Amino acid sequence: MTTSSNALLSLDHISLSFKGVNAITDISFAVRAGEICALIGPNGAGKSSLLNVINGVYQPQRGSVHFDGHAYRRMNPYHAAHSGIARTFQNIALFRRMSVLDNVLTGRNLHRRSTWLEQTLNVGRARSDETVQRSYAEVVIDALDLQRYRHTTVGTLPYGVQKRVELARALAAEPRLLLLDEPMAGMNADEKHVMAGYVLDANTQFGVTVVLIEHDIGVVMGLSDHVVVLDYGKKIADGAPAEVRSNPDVLAAYLGTRH
């Protein structure tokens, strides 16, 4: 598959299997810079696996990932982060015993210019660096309305807020690509609506390209520019929300007529 000119991310015949069991079979698609792309499909369709492939938690057996023009055969989460890919997790992966602010600041670690020694002795670039990182953290905190939780220990926050903090930590890294694994899981309609708003802000205000996994078709259709539908590790549809909605295979997969 040729990477379309303005594609930020493109997957090229990715196949992944655990001990012979295929999780993903020969999937290819591209994500254009600036768009919000949704991965949907029934449970076990391989959505999370796909995210894990993109930021290198898993190594695909076949196929390659192109990010920002470079092809990666072997990617690992650390390099993914450094090349501008941030993500959140299905079940929250925050630093529970740290404050919201500290969590967000860890997101800034890629942008630190001063060394730990400078910071400890408070010499050289330390001061200016601190100011910059701190201001940006504040920007994100404001954008996600987390001001009042700034110094609260994350572990003590309600689920919905934690989801938000995780998004904030990801955004703080100034990523080019943001992978969201079910950012609205376990939320009621209103909360979902609010969260969707933040995702949209991330996309427009911060200009981040987003790939997200979501079950709620309604939300997905409203939110995303581009939908990729998976079923049993295979891609069964890929396109604008409207056309995907009318795709018979998708209907089959969701209405379950095939099984």
Partner 1 sequence: MSSPDTTLSAPRTFKPYPQQRPLLKVWLAAVLVLIAFVVVPVFGNDYWLNAILIPFLVLSLAGLGLNLVTGYAGQLSLGSAAFMSVGAYATYNLLVRVPALPLAVDLLLGGLISAVVGALFGLPSLRIKGFYLIVSTLAAQFFVEWIFTRVSWFSNDDTSGVLSAPRLTAFGWKIDTPAARYLFVLGVTSVLFILAARLVRSELGRRWMAVRDMDTAARVIGIPIGRTKLLAFALSSFVTGIAGALWAFAYLGTVEPHGFDLNLSFQVLFIIIIGGMSSIGGNFLGAAFIVLLPILLSNAAGALATVGIEAGQLQNLQKILFGTLIIVFLIKEPDGLARLVQTVRNRLRDWPLRA
Partner 2 sequence: MGFFLEVLVGGLLAGVMYSMVAIGFVLIYKASGVFNFAQGSMVLFGALTYVSLVERHVKPVLAFGVTLGALVLIALLIGRLVLRPLVSRPPIVLFMATLGLSFILEGAAQLFWGAQVHGLDLGIDDKPLNVGGIMISQFDIFAAATAGVLVIGLSLLTNRTRLGLSLRAVADDPLAALAIGVRLPRVWAIVWALAGFVSLVAGLLWGARLGVQFSLSLVVLKALPVLIIGGFSSIGGAIVGGLLIGASEKLAEVYVGSLLGGGIENWFPYLLAMLFLLARPVGLFGEPAVERV
CB of 115 to partner 1, least distance (A): 9
CB of 87 to partner 2, least distance (A): 10
In the list 99, 125, 160, 234, the residue contacting partner 1 (rule: CB under 8 A) is 99
Indicate the residue among 57 and 200 with the shorter CB distance to partner 2.
Answer: 57
Q: Is 207 helix (H, G, I), strand (E, B) or coil?
A: coil
Give the helix/strand (H/E) hosting 28.
Answer: strand 21-32
Q: Which residues bind partner 2 (CB under 8 A)?
A: 52, 57, 89, 93
Q: Which residues contact 95 (CB under 8 A, 6 or more apart)?
A: 102, 103, 106, 154
CA distances from 137 to 154, 155, 161, 200, 255 (A): 16, 19, 16, 19, 44
CB of 128 to partner 1, least distance (A): 11
Indicate the residue among 29 and 89 with the shorter CB distance to partner 1.
Answer: 89
Give which of partner 1, partner 2, none residue 170 binds (C-beta under 5 to 8 Å, depending on kind).
partner 1
Give the DSSP per-residue string, 31-58. EETT-EEEEE-STTSSHHHHHHHHTTSS
Give which of partner 1, partner 2, none residue 52 binds (C-beta under 5 to 8 Å, depending on kind).
partner 2
Q: Can you list the pairs that 241-249 forms with residues at least 24 positions away whose Cβ atoms lie under 8 Å? A: 245/217, 245/221
Site residues for partner 1 per CB under 8 A: 55, 57, 77-78, 80-82, 86-87, 89, 93-99, 101-102, 105-107, 109-110, 112, 114, 116, 119-122, 130-136, 138-139, 150-151, 169-170, 173-174, 205-207
